[in-house]
Structure 1
């Protein structure tokens, strides 16, 4: 008997961006390029995350700091050395650190510096100063986790990856940055959602998570009397569905799973659809998240990154049964 399955692994295409950060980078061509393979996004919310007790240690040329989140009892103690390959420093380079304070009305002239939602490293050159890199707490944690930067981090860093999901969307015809610029639902969420933390702006809590596929693994088995052309097409990967169609199907699967409050169409008839994978007649389809994030919604949560192949899985079986399989 012939059987066909499709295993889809979703991965963050870029660091989660707060609405405040999005407003700054929405015209950035480099970030737009980083998101070129991403067509699925979530708009979520989490308490504010900040850098605290920040001190520049000139004796060993590094930045010492903590990462805090409102309502999270865990504190991360961190040391970021400047002398690492990715920063591209020469022996005689000096580095400045520019801070983005959450509350600009409070002057801070001496370390340790507090209440910082981001910082930039700037290199001194003969021609002047040159921007090196910018970090939010989430960008620093993601870059460290992926091995892009060296940083010493002590504490329960996974507890900083929880997001309450408000909306699931797709951007198959244009980039996510363009899609969200002037997006009415995005503006509604910013206007209507109360801050989780007292005295905070929703723009510092509402977060955009953009996803691409790390892998779409199609598995086919063939029984007696199988069509030879179909077998050859499978071996050559010629019968894979178009990526756009998988994104459209993934959007429906996530919306049906989480029923986000700002999605008007909840796809209650899914997996039946005109533009998803329904007509490809898979025996099994799964969607799972590679990153160690937790997506919370009214009826529960979906956890990612629990193993090297993902975490909790959204399953569609025999083109009709729909369920969330929790990882043990």
Structure 2
């Protein structure tokens, strides 16, 4: 992560993050049709299996109309790469046309990207055991996690046991860097008005500080020592601000599980669970009737 400039750029845009583990997912063989479509079998452990169908030529066309005649598929247990067939020999330094790690494939399928089919159990694969919620108070997630010692991460790596035999905890520990995007709803007469995410840097940090406390207070991740029992009361959060109510939700197709709660995120905000605060009342408002039975399997 520290040597990947693209990853660093993403982390620089985040100051709120989650750490979670999940049984290491692996690709478990593939089958290529005469059409070029690739069937990949995915092993999520604990009896969780599925199959994804990739249309590499459809995926290739998404690159500004790029339409190669032949592609080379390189499949390993944790990553699949597509290369353009040509005169240059393909080696470890060759840049692939497209690639999918196990986590990237789960993420891209959740967004219904072109050329990715089947894999109906992707939300089960996108279910994680939430261990820690953190923020970067003065900087960003990259500085917080990689420019110095991060004690919670070190404790997780030292204390946790891998879910899959033969895996390491570092193989199963996943970092979720989030960008908080505020939306303000003001009611004027009978028509609500929506405002976008432009707020001052100071108020943004106040929102981030409150989000951390809300997640920890309601979900109680194991490695957060301070549980904020007095939340929503705090000296650096949103308590006492002019909001009648406010809340937080995960705008991704992810599920986070702790010993106390299950938090369902969703790209459609109407189908996401909300950490809701109104005065001194704090609750996890479940999005009723919108989750499939598979969402609760893990």
Check whether the contact 1:314–1:324 (CA below 8 A) recurs between aligned residues: yes
SS in 2 for 1:242: helix
CA gap 1:307/1:95 in 2 versus in 1, 3 angstroms: closer
Structure 2 partner of 1:19: none
1:161 to 109, 123, 126: 126
CA gap 1:287/1:71 in 2 versus in 1, 3 angstroms: same
Structure 2 partner of 1:134: 99
Check whether the contact 2:249–2:273 (CA below 8 A) recurs between aligned residues: yes
Is residue 2:266 matched to residue 1:323?
no
Check whether the contact 1:195–1:205 (CA below 8 A) recurs between aligned residues: yes
Structure 2 partner of 1:121: 82
Is residue 2:36 matched to residue 1:61?
yes
1:270 to 231, 254, 257: 231
Structure 1 residue runs of 5 or longer lacking an equivalent are 1-24, 101-115, 224-233
Check whether the contact 1:291–1:310 (CA below 8 A) recurs between aligned residues: no
The CA RMSD over aligned residues, in Å, is 2.8
CA gap 1:304/1:265 in 2 versus in 1, 3 angstroms: same
Structure 1 partner of 2:45: 70
Greater strand share, 1 or 2?
1
Check whether the contact 2:84–2:96 (CA below 8 A) recurs between aligned residues: yes
Is residue 2:117 matched to residue 1:177?
no
1:51 to 14, 27, 30: 27
Which structure ranks higher in relative contact order (CA pairs < 8 Å, sequence separation ≥ 6)?
1
Q: How many angstroms apart in 2 are the aligned matches of 1:250 and 1:30? A: 26
TM-score, normalised with respect to structure 1 = 0.74
Aligned length: 274
State the 1:90 CA deviation.
4.3
Post-superposition CA distance 1:105-153 (Å, at most 9, x none): xxxxxxxxxxx11222233455654322331222112223324442112
CA gap 1:179/1:124 in 2 versus in 1, 3 angstroms: farther
Post-superposition CA distance 1:194-249 (Å, at most 9, x none): 12233321122111112123x422123468xxxxxxxxxx9899887732221111
Post-superposition CA distance 1:57-98 (Å, at most 9, x none): 4x222322112210144x322221221323565434x43333
Q: How many angstroms apart in 2 are the aligned matches of 1:296 and 1:155? A: 20
TM-score, normalised with respect to structure 2 = 0.80
Structure 2 residue runs of 5 or longer lacking an equivalent are 289-298
Check whether the contact 2:133–2:215 (CA below 8 A) recurs between aligned residues: yes
1:95 to 55, 68, 71: 71
CA gap 1:305/1:180 in 2 versus in 1, 3 angstroms: same
Q: How many angstroms apart in 1 are the aligned matches of 2:273 and 2:197? A: 27
Is residue 2:110 matched to residue 1:150?
no
